[in-house]
Amino acid sequence: MFARTCSSGVSGFSIVPRYSVHVPRRQTREPLPDLWLLSDARNDARLEQALRTLPRGSGFVFRHYHLSPEARRRRFDKLAKVARECGHAVVLSGSADEAERWGAEGLYGPPGRIGPGPALRIATAHGRAEIEAANAIGADAVMLSPVFATRSHSDAPALGPERFHALATLARMPVIALGGMTPVRAQEFGWPRWAAIDGLS
């Protein structure tokens, strides 16, 4: 049974919904969270506990590609409620239309899918071309992966610290490290913003 209280640690993000009937869609950006939890089929059973354990003001990317559209929406609503109780930013891997209808604070995905717009937009990247595409659309952040070997993409070659740093210098926005990241590895790696699936759940 997981604790029902949220962590009192602060990640540096004060959540302000950008897709809400109560809040104008265009407004000043809030600070970007340093720490991000990504959802996946394999960490689903632990997500509520993980969200409550994260430092207050972290970020949550809802993916859950394995579910049917109806089940995916229900699971999103349940997890988004827990995340917001803990002051986390909730970002959806989906279309801009879905993000607006579901009440997400932003979008996550390839630069060509998230496009320009008023929401918080986190572009995914695995190399130079995608970072340049993220620059072109003015993404708010880019999630660069895989830094290290990961179960999510076991067949994908890891960038490694040197290649990661070289690619990160090309980005005109904050870079979030993803792939094989854990608290210990993040500390050793010395990168301020990182994300994980298994490493945080």
Residue 25 forms part of a structural domain: no
- Concatenate the DSSP letters of all residues of 116-176 into one string: S-SSEEEEEESSHHHHHHHHHHT-SEEEE--SS--STTTTSPP-HHHHHHHHHTT-SS-EE
The string of pLDDT tens digits covering residues 60-115 is 999 999 999 999 999 999 999 999 999 999 999 998 999 999 999 999 999 999 98
Instruction: Tell me the percentage of the chain whose pLDDT exceeds 70.
Output: 84
Residue 106 forms part of a structural domain: yes
Domain residues for the domain of 158 are 35-200
Residue 150 forms part of a structural domain: yes
pLDDT at 133: 97
**How large is the average pLDDT for residues 135-152?**
91
The total number of structural domains in the chain stands at 1
pLDDT at 28: 37
The CA distance from 190 to 147, in Å, is 13
Residue 117 forms part of a structural domain: yes
pLDDT at 31: 85
Determine whether 30 is exposed, middle or buried from the number of CB atoms within 10 Å of its CB (0-12, 13-18, 19+).
middle
Residue 3 forms part of a structural domain: no
